[in-house]
């Protein structure tokens, strides 16, 4: 268990204790036991039970966990189905965006350059180098030696 999760569990535990009894009873006992068992012992939460939740500065992870608790335990079946459908649509939309962004057929499209080979031929000049024969190399060697003296 990482430290962020255990800190979020402390916040969730405090929020559950702040809930009215009717709401608290809707949440499964095994889930509450899991939260209590895995919460951090040395983290001091910034949640104040005297201030409404909406007015407090709560971590993103804590808000997400509260959303899951609401969806799974507190809302009606009709609202749960509506939330699940909305979540499914958001996931599909996100996957489609990723698929478009990282499509293997299109990923190199912008990086490829089309070359005009006729233009390249015009810009490149052919240079032919003359190979020296063995006799020319020997003569060149002696000429360079005798010029020094």
pLDDT value, residue 86: 93
Torsions phi, psi for 128 (to 5 deg)? -105, 125
Model confidence at 104: pLDDT above 80: no
Task: State the pLDDT at residue 127.
Answer: 65
H helices, E strands: number in the chain? 7, 0
Residue carrying the six token digits 């057929």: 105
Distance between start and end Cα atoms, the chain: 86
pTM of the model: 0.60
In angstroms, the CA 25 to CA 131 distance is: 96
How far is it, in rounded angstroms, from Cα 113 to Cα 3? 49
The answer to whether 46 touches 7, Cβ cutoff 8 Å, is: no
Specify the pLDDT at position 108.
Answer: 60
The confidence band for 85, taking pLDDT boundaries of 50, 70 and 90, is very high
pLDDT higher than threshold 90 for residue 48: no
Average pLDDT over residues 30-41: 91
Residue 71 has pLDDT above 60, yes or no: yes
User: In the predicted model, what is the mean pLDDT of the chain?
Assistant: 82
Q: Return the closest-CA partner of residue 63 out of 17, 12, 28, 102.
A: 12
Segment 109-127, tens digit of pLDDT = 655 555 555 555 555 556 6
Choose among 44, 63, 49, 43: nearest CA to 19.
49
pLDDT at residue 32 in the model = 92
């Amino acid at each position: 268990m990482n430290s962020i999760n255990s800190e979020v569990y402390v916040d969730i535990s405090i929020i559950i204790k702040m809930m009215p009894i009717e709401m608290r009873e809707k949440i499964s006992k095994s889930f509450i036991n899991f939260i209590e068992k895995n919460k951090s012992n040395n983290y001091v939460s910034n949640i104040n039970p005297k201030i409404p939740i909406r007015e407090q500065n709560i971590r993103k992870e804590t808000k997400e966990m509260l959303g899951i608790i609401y969806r799974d335990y507190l809302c009606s079946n009709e609202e749960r189905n509506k939330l699940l459908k909305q979540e499914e649509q958001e996931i599909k939309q996100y996957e489609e965006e990723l698929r478009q962004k990282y499509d293997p057929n299109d990923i190199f499209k912008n990086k490829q350059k089309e070359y005009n080979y006729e233009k390249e031929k015009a810009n490149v000049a052919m240079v032919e180098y003359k190979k020296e024969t063995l006799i020319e190399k020997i003569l060149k060697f002696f000429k360079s030696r005798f010029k020094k003296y």
